Each structure stands twice: as structure tokens, then as C-alpha cells.
Structure 1
């Protein structure tokens, strides 16, 4: 195994914008080893004063909507403006083998060689909503490394979109046109989370369908209650192939950030996200400590067998495990 760096090497390397050190630091925070986690916490504590200055954007959408293609076109738009971009692309993990493809660098060929862009594929693992276990910590490391914009791509909608919404400043929902009854097929809860909707692949024969879908979504959004932020989510059309509408997406994000910074909503959103991060971490630690108790593996196997054979209710089994051994 590659040896760990020292605390000062991690901190100084990241502040110097050394990508190799940044990658090793992200690997450190993703590690499940207790010793790695202790060092990772120290690194984050040292870097905390250098975080918080980026624009954090979450991007989600149904499989096939073209998230990676959109991100490449959108990312190139940002780097042409001289902005440093970090893409945290979360890959789905097999529930059978535990493996993941980690193929985002091959799907974003142009962006992956851009000197102003940094793409970090991470396995989703057992996390809900396709959000990697340590995405929040990874965002802080990227901010300390001087990235202006951080994009968090999820594997798709349908599980727990509130997780990615709960760690970004702007939540972009990508939609497809011409794929059936869009309004019936999309959960209302996802649309309520979005700060903007973008209809992708609005080019060629699909352009008319994209415009129709835009009108339908705009009408649907007017039925939702106001968010209280002073912002009404716009609906746009765009094409990663032609480039149409890509710059408009960034302009909308900037408008949103200007408004929410001025009225204080951006700070309040981040403060609420930090509180949720605290509670999420507490839940993770409680679960870890529960399963790591001495003898718990044997006790769990015993009650699982009784639950499997129907001689013990799952509720009863849980109560038995909560009792002191």
C-alpha cells in the first residue's frame, strides 16, 4: 500500500494546488480505516479556513438524460472563462460485487485533459441517492485547492435526491423531452428541490419536443408553493452537441447566487446543510459503533437465522440485540 503523507504535506500540497496530493487526500477521507479517518479529520480542520468560496452545483437527472455529456460541455464553458472546475462524478456500485466502473474520465474525454478541470470519480457504495460516502469532505478539499466551481453529479434520480440537494448551493435537474408523459413520470418531490430545470438534447428533430416540454414544466412549476427564497426556478432548453443554452445555464446559476447572497439565503442554506451533516455523521457513527461491539457479529448471525426461519419477529430480534450482552 502507498504510504500516507504527513499532516503538513497534505495541507501544504493542497494549498499549493498539487493535484496528486489532492487525489491522495480524497482517498484518505474515503478510507474506512480508523487511523486514516483520524488523519483526514486533522487535514480538514487545518484546511477549513480556506474553504467555502466556491459555487457548489448539484446535477441530477434520469439515466439517459446525458449528464456526463452536459457536464463536459458546461465544464468547457466555465474553463474558457478561466474558472477552475472540480467534477465529483459518483459512479454506481454493484450491490453484488461491490465494484464500480469509475468511467467518468473516459466519458468526459475533452474535459479530463483540460488543465483547469479536475474530475474525481468516486464509488457510491451503499450510499442512498448515488452520493459517495464522503462527498462533503471531498468538496471541502477541492475548495481548499482553489477550485471556483464544484459540480456533483449523481447516478440518477429515484432514491434520495435530498442528499445532493443538502450539500450544494444550486440544484440543477436535467430532463428529457419526447420520452412519454414527462409530468406524470417525474416525481413532484424532485421538481420541488430543483433551482432550475434544463431540457437536454434540444437540437435537430428533438427541438420542437423540447420546447413543448419546457412549456409544460413551466406550467407545472407555477402550481408549486413559493420556496420563500425569492427565487422562482426557471426552465431552459440546451444542447451539449450544438452548445445552445449552455452559457445560459451558467448565467442562471450566477443570478441565483447573486440573489441568495444578497438576501442571506445562501448563508442560511449552508448553515442548515452543516447541521444536517452533523446529524448524518452521528447516525453513521452510531451504526458503526453498534455493529462493531464485541461479539455482535455472532449475536447478529444467531438472531438473523431465527428471523429467517420465522421463529422470531424482526422487532423482537432488534430488541434482543439492543440489550447488553
Structure 2
């Protein structure tokens, strides 16, 4: 693969080049990983910086409908929008449906938008392992806003906060015990909570839900990276567009304040450090799996654990000890 030519295509904003580049960084082949590193280095042009918006929510909340309506609003305002939609992968077959483009038909056809579905590949936390690299490529291609849609569990998807500048949690009204709809961890990570489907007969229910979450947010410890009043809860409707412009204003206001106060770069530096450490962890696991002797011993210990002859913790400790010895520790 001609990496310099591919990088030139990405920097020129060519969709086909961007698609090929993301496919390359998502590959797990060793030779592709080396090429991906060269590509990312070639595309790291100073000044090309998009607003990264992470979006999570419970299943059925209308994430795709919201993204299409919100994305179309931004495109109509003259902005270029990239959507990275992460689809859950089967733990049995490894396959994913990747149907996000069919759920966002208008946005998929918009000249100023780009939608890329990616499999989670069993990576935990709601996003794919290479999502951060795909975000960097979208920034290099000149997009103004990058939307990262998580798989849709709505309770444990806090990893998306490690790739986004503003993390939005989308909820629906009328879900019974409202404050049990999500867990504290994801609420503490959220910068903005949007109550979707605030239209028709659901307006009053949506406002009650918004008030419940606004009250819960006020009880949480204030974060250093938030201005007064954040995080906050708002009502929106992806169906008729109500509240979308106000939500966008709040996102921009938060991003602008963080830039002015120095939190923006601090946050991105901390995210880069997080993904460096994650790459080290993944690399060590891959190194362990690539050793034939280690694989055989793990298979033996796995059988012993399955048969109840040894405890999982003791078996794992033996593997780690052997790995440390082999590494010269």
C-alpha cells in the first residue's frame, strides 16, 4: 500500500481514501499495524482539530434518529460532519450487522457528511479498539465535528469519554424509575444529558425526567473541567427538531470554555496517555498469545480450571509468573 499517497488523499478530504485509511487502522495484521502507524504520523497535521462528540444511550432511545436530525442541522449550517457508529460484535461468530447507514438515509446522502460503521470486535466500553485512530483520520480529512456513537448498552460505556471532547448521554422519558435507567458511572462521565422524544404526548413526561436528572446532577461532586451549570439536562426531539439548536449551543459553549481555561488540551493529553497505556496492555496480551509454549500452558491450565482442579486466580498467577520469568523479570 502506498502510504504517502493514501495520506495525501485523506488530507485532501477524499472519502475513498478516508475509508481505506480507517480499514487499515482497524486491521489487526502486524504488517498493517506498522503501515497504520506510518499513516497516522503522516496525517498528524497541526491545526486540524474537530469537535469530538461522544454519544451513548440505552437501546431504543433513538440514537440513530437523533444523530441524523442533529447531523443534518450541522450540515445545513455549513459544517462537515463525520459519524463513527460502533456496532456490537457477536461473541460467538465475531460478526456485526453494521446497519447504521440504512438508519440514517438522509445524512448518508448529504455531501457534507460521512458515516462509518465499525464492529466493536468484543472490545468493552461501547467503542471499538481503533476508534480513536479513526477519529484522528476524520480530523485530518477536515471534518469539523466527529460524532462517536457507542454500541448502546447505556450503563458501562464510559470509555467513549476517553475519545471525546464532549460526552452526551441520550435518554428517553417514561422509563419507569427514571434514575435507574443508567448507572452513576456513566452519569459522572456525561457532560450533557439529553432527554429525547420530547414531543407530542411525551412532552410532560420528558420534562419530568429532565427535572429528575437535573436534580441528580446537582448532588454530584463538581468537576474541575466544568463551568458553572454543567453538566446539565435538556429536552430534545429528534422527530421535530425541538431543542437541537439549544443543545448544540450548550456543546459549543462548554467546548469554548474548556479551550479558554486550558482544560481542552489537558483532557486530550490525558486521553492520549490513556490510549498509550491501553496499547501497552493489549501488546503484552498479544505477546503472550503469540508464544507457543505459553499458549500450550494456558490450555493446560484452562482445562485444570474448568475441571475444578485449580482456582482461576492461582492459574492466572502462574501464567503471569512464567511470563515475567521469560521476560527477564
* Normalised-by-shorter TM-score class: over 0.9
1:143-222 correspondence to structure 2 within 5 Å: 143-158=139-154, 160-222=156-218
Structure 1 residues 91 and 245, CA gap change in structure 2 (3 angstroms) = same
**Is contact 2:90-2:122 (8 Å) kept?**
no
* Of 97-106 and 309-318, the range deviating more from structure 2: 309-318
Indicate the residue corresponding to 1:44 in structure 2: 40
The equivalent position to 2:279 in structure 1, one of 278, 281, 284, is 281
TM-score (normalizing by structure 1): 0.95
Query: SS of 1:222's equivalent?
Result: helix
Task: Tell me how far apart the structure 2 counterparts of residues 248 and 227 of structure 1 sit (CA, whole Å).
Answer: 23
Task: Tell me how far apart the structure 2 counterparts of residues 67 and 305 of structure 1 sit (CA, whole Å).
Answer: 43
The equivalent position to 1:320 in structure 2, one of 303, 318, 321, is 318
The equivalent position to 2:80 in structure 1, one of 79, 84, 96, is 84
For structure 2, the residue ranges without an aligned partner over 5 or more in a row are: none
Indicate the residue corresponding to 1:118 in structure 2: 114
> After TM superposition, what 4+ stretches of structure 1 lie above 4 angstroms from structure 2?
none
TM-score (normalizing by structure 2): 0.94
The size of the alignment, in residue pairs, is: 321
CA positional deviation for 1:158: 4.7
Superimposed CA distance per residue, residues 260-297 of structure 1 (whole angstroms, 9 cap, x where no aligned partner)? 11111111111111111111111111111111113232
Task: Tell me how far apart the structure 2 counterparts of residues 230 and 153 of structure 1 sit (CA, whole Å).
Answer: 22
Task: Tell me how far apart the structure 2 counterparts of residues 135 and 235 of structure 1 sit (CA, whole Å).
Answer: 27
Kindly indicate whether residue 131 of structure 2 is the aligned counterpart of residue 135 of structure 1. Answer: yes
The equivalent position to 1:68 in structure 2, one of 61, 64, 67, is 64
The equivalent position to 2:252 in structure 1, one of 246, 251, 254, is 254
**Is contact 1:129-1:156 (8 Å) kept?**
no
CA positional deviation for 1:254: 0.7
Structure 1 residues 219 and 47, CA gap change in structure 2 (3 angstroms) = same
**Is contact 1:55-1:149 (8 Å) kept?**
yes
Kindly indicate whether residue 314 of structure 2 is the aligned counterpart of residue 306 of structure 1. Answer: no
Superimposed CA distance per residue, residues 199-234 of structure 1 (whole angstroms, 9 cap, x where no aligned partner)? 000001111100111111111111111112242112
**Is contact 1:53-1:143 (8 Å) kept?**
yes
Query: SS of 1:36's equivalent?
Result: helix
**Is contact 2:48-2:142 (8 Å) kept?**
no
Structure 1 residues 245 and 138, CA gap change in structure 2 (3 angstroms) = same
Q: Please tell me the root mean square deviation across aligned C-alpha atoms, in Å.
A: 1.4
Kindly indicate whether residue 100 of structure 2 is the aligned counterpart of residue 104 of structure 1. Answer: yes
